Structure 1
Amino acid sequence: MRVAVIGASGRMGKNLITAIHDASDVTLGAAILKPGSSLVGADAGEIAGLGKLGIAAVESLADCVNDFDVLIDFTTPSLTLENAAFCAKHKKAIVVGTTGLNDEEKAALNECAQQSPMVFAPNMSVGLNLTLKLLATAAQILGDDYDVEIVEAHHRHKVDSPSGTALRMGEVVAEALGRDLKECAVYGREGQIGARTQKEIGFETIRAGDVVGEHSVWFATEGERIEIVHKASSRMTFAKGAVRAASWLEGKSSGMYDMQDVLNLK
């Protein structure tokens, strides 16, 4: 599989190029930068600090449409939708790790996935996706007797809150408990709010420094508390998961998939 990376000069883009270079079952097909970037034409390997790889960075998907089979996208919601539409039109697979999409944008992504295969997940980490499986199991066993609180922390530059991963955790727990997250979620608390309700799922957000990503889900009742925690110390964990998803897409039919499919956790 020939993989294209968009946003190749960013922190995530460089990690993705490195992860592709280190993988045995995929190759780097293209590296895309922002239009007008001073790095257009530079070797993608040198951008990532690997030395020359023989792939010159370009400024649009149209410039490399014949050079890749699957695109990995960790950009912004609006740009991701444009890239997904391009991949659908040209029958290219796509891995989407972009967060902060609203319901309408997710629906648009799903439409694109009906024309070409897509893996869409708010977190590509293998460990985190195993954590989601553990959360579903815990919620099913513990039931409504345990209060659920989700605490997440990320670096100061993250623009969406709560994180897409925290929201996915909430969705998994709510589904296991037979609840609708849109109805039971509580985002932050302040003032004289009274006692928590039995079925609410609380979210607390921390933004500080260079935290890559930390998530903790509390199941608490009288006399005990269970915490299921995932901490990422490097963006490489997300990059490796995305590359694994890209490789998994080879030969897949059109449709929307997630990391639970990739890891055979369903």
Structure 2
Amino acid sequence: MASIGIIGSEGRMGQALARAVEAAGHSLAGGADKGSDVAALADACEALVDFSAPAALEANLHAAVGAGVPILIGTTGLAEVHHAAIDQAARAIPVLQTGNTSLGVTLLAHLVQEAARRLGPDWDIEVLEMHHRMKVDAPSGTALLLGEAAAAGRGIALADHSERGRDGHTGARAEGAIGFASLRGGTVAGEHSVILAGPQERLMLSHSAEDRMIFAHGAVKGAAWLIGREPARYRMEQVLGL
């Protein structure tokens, strides 16, 4: 049994995390939200789970490092400055940051990387995602995670081959590009597909989220897995032993 603290506990994801902690047989150390004392929560738990906001990340990392407890970060919409702060914190504590804590998506990313590696550059790659109307960032963190997996399979940098927001007379598709398309509407929890289009055939690898509890269960599993690890930056793939 692990004692887990939730940053962003009052949000929909935070409430789902509280249920997942209980379902997994762990204890809930408490929650912290805007204006709360994150440092006090960090001192009272064995692991932190952060699904708050990018603006709060630096303070949350500082609290985790100060208490010497691992932290799993599921917050999306992170910029390079946030990743630099995560890298710095990972020198002192175990940190797992991911755009999606679903175990199914974790395996999907693994399959996407393998498919991109084996099929080669003759196959065009497109990442399609759809989420509820309230989602504020695009592409989704999961879409970017899948794009990174495809780029890793090809041995390229996603930043140099990402193609987004096509409109008007765009010309032919750039060779080696990894394209993204984002749809928003209704109450969709999350739909992601990676399309690999080759000569005369297509392969589609997909995942459908039917309830946000899948992310909560995966996050709790990941947070518990971090306890006792050496300081480093970890990935969800490692939680599954991939």
Q: What TM-score does the superposition give when structure 2 sets the normalisation length?
A: 0.96
Shift of 1:200: 0.9
Look up the SS of the partner of 1:150 in the other structure: strand
Confirm or deny: 8 A CA contact 1:100 1:164 kept in the other structure: yes
Confirm or deny: 8 A CA contact 2:57 2:82 kept in the other structure: no
2-side partners of 1:63 and 1:71: how far apart? Answer: 12
Shift of 1:91: 0.7
> Larger RCO: Structure 1 or Structure 2 (Cα < 8 Å, ≥ 6 residues apart)?
2
Q: What does 1:138-177 correspond to in 2, within 5 Å?
A: 138-177=115-154
2-side partners of 1:65 and 1:251: how far apart? Answer: 15
Confirm or deny: 8 A CA contact 1:89 1:115 kept in the other structure: no
- Residue 20 of structure 1 corresponds to which residue in structure 2? 21
Shift of 1:33: 3.1
Which runs of 4 or more aligned residues in structure 1 lie more than 4 Å from their structure 2 counterparts after TM superposition?
none
Superposed CA deviations along residues 14-43 of structure 1, whole A, max 9, x for unmatched, are 10000001112x2111122333xxxxxxxx
Confirm or deny: 8 A CA contact 1:144 1:177 kept in the other structure: yes
Shift of 1:63: 3.9
Pick the aligned partner of 1:101 from 53, 63, 78: 78
1-side partners of 2:110 and 2:40: how far apart? Answer: 40
Q: What does 1:175-254 correspond to in 2, within 5 Å?
A: 175-254=152-231
Confirm or deny: 8 A CA contact 1:152 1:162 kept in the other structure: yes
Confirm or deny: 8 A CA contact 1:131 1:228 kept in the other structure: yes
Look up the SS of the partner of 2:5 in the other structure: strand
Unaligned stretches of 5+ residues in structure 1:
36-58
Shift of 1:139: 0.8
- Residue 9 of structure 2 corresponds to which residue in structure 1? 8
Percent of aligned positions with the same letter in both sequences? 39
Look up the equivalent residue of 2:100 and give its one-letter code.
N
- Residue 53 of structure 2 corresponds to which residue in structure 1? 76
Unaligned stretches of 5+ residues in structure 2:
none
- The size of the alignment, in residue pairs, is 241
Greater displacement, 218-227 / 122-131: 218-227
> Structure 1 residues 86, 197: CA separation in 2 closer, same or farther (over 3 Å shift)?
same
